[in-house]
């Protein structure tokens, strides 16, 4: 599971190269921020998190990349991103000063706990996903919510960028269960899996269909 520092550093270098050639660089900064905020609002709407919740919650976003996921939200909002300084350089210092810890999730030092932890399409980029989940658990309160999304593909996809890939749904489910997480997940387009989890739950992860109501989703 732990691919080691050399493989991970290569993956980070490749990731930065990908971002350099993506819309992250091509788009104007203000356009990029606007797009990120729309994506954020759509994400939280899909998991029934209201604007009032977002304003009140303390939130940790792991692996924010160049996305200002928590941009403009009041209260305690913290992000972790090992490549953040490089992103700021790419934008010629136009990028805003968000509260970002420049570190990997494995090495980040945080004394606080949070109402919500977000790790969106990041776990397969990590050096050691198992350790990352253990760190996440230490940053969560008893009633905190973990919002995790992950690509699950039968074959390797850009392995030089994704050092820890999940090829089967049960791979990620078993990893979450072994770290004491339980809750619900739903599949989006048969590739991206969204998990809504609590720590120290009843060690149960269930599938949710697209028409499930809010009160069903949060019956942990």
Q: What is the pLDDT of residues 36-91, one digit of tens each?
A: 788 888 878 877 788 788 888 999 999 988 766 887 788 899 999 998 888 777 66
Distance, in Å, from the CA atom of 42 to the CA atom of 34, rounded to the nearest integer, reads 12
Distance, in Å, from the CA atom of 161 to the CA atom of 6, rounded to the nearest integer, reads 13
- Structural domain of residue 48, as residue ranges? 5-217
Could you read off the pLDDT of 96-131 as tens digits, one per residue? 667 889 999 999 999 999 999 999 989 998 999 999
Q: Is the pLDDT of residue 20 over 90?
A: no
Q: Is the pLDDT of residue 212 over 70?
A: no
Look at residue 135 in the predicted model and tell me its pLDDT.
96
Of 70 and 136, the structure prediction assigns the larger pLDDT to 136
185 and 220 in contact (C-beta within 8 Å)?
no
Q: Total structural domains in the chain?
A: 1
Distance, in Å, from the CA atom of 8 to the CA atom of 141, rounded to the nearest integer, reads 29
Look at residue 102 in the predicted model and tell me its pLDDT.
93
For helices 169-178 and 129-138, angle between their N-to-C axes, nearest 10 degrees: 40
Look at residue 219 in the predicted model and tell me its pLDDT.
41
Residue 31: which CATH number? 3.40.50.150
Look at residue 188 in the predicted model and tell me its pLDDT.
76
Look at residue 27 in the predicted model and tell me its pLDDT.
63
Q: Is the pLDDT of residue 213 over 70?
A: no
C-alpha distance from residue 139 to each of 33, 98, 135, 193 (Å): 27, 19, 7, 22
């Amino acid at each position: 599971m732990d691919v080691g520092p050399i493989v991970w550093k290569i993956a980070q270098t490749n990731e930065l190269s990908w971002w350099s050639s993506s819309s992250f660089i091509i788009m104007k900064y203000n356009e990029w921020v606007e797009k990120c905020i729309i994506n954020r609002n759509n994400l939280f709407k899909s998991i029934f998190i209201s604007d009032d919740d977002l304003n009140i919650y303390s939130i940790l976003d792991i692996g924010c990349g160049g996305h200002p996921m928590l941009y403009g939200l009041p209260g305690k909002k913290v992000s972790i991103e090992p490549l953040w300084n490089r992103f700021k350089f790419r934008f010629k210092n136009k990028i805003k000063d968000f509260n970002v810890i420049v570190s990997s999730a494995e090495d980040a030092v945080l004394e606080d706990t949070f109402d919500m932890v977000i790790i969106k399409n990041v776990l397969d980029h990590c050096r050691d996903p198992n350790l990352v989940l253990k760190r996440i658990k230490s940053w969560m309160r008893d009633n905190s919510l973990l919002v995790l999304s992950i690509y699950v593909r039968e074959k390797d996809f850009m392995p030089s960028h994704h050092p820890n890939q999940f090829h089967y749904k049960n791979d990620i489910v078993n990893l979450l269960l072994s770290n004491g997480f339980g809750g619900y997940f739903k599949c989006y387009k048969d590739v991206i899996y969204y998990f809504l989890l609590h720590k120290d739950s009843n060690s149960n992860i269930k599938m949710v269909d697209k028409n499930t109501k809010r009160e069903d989703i949060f019956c942990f």
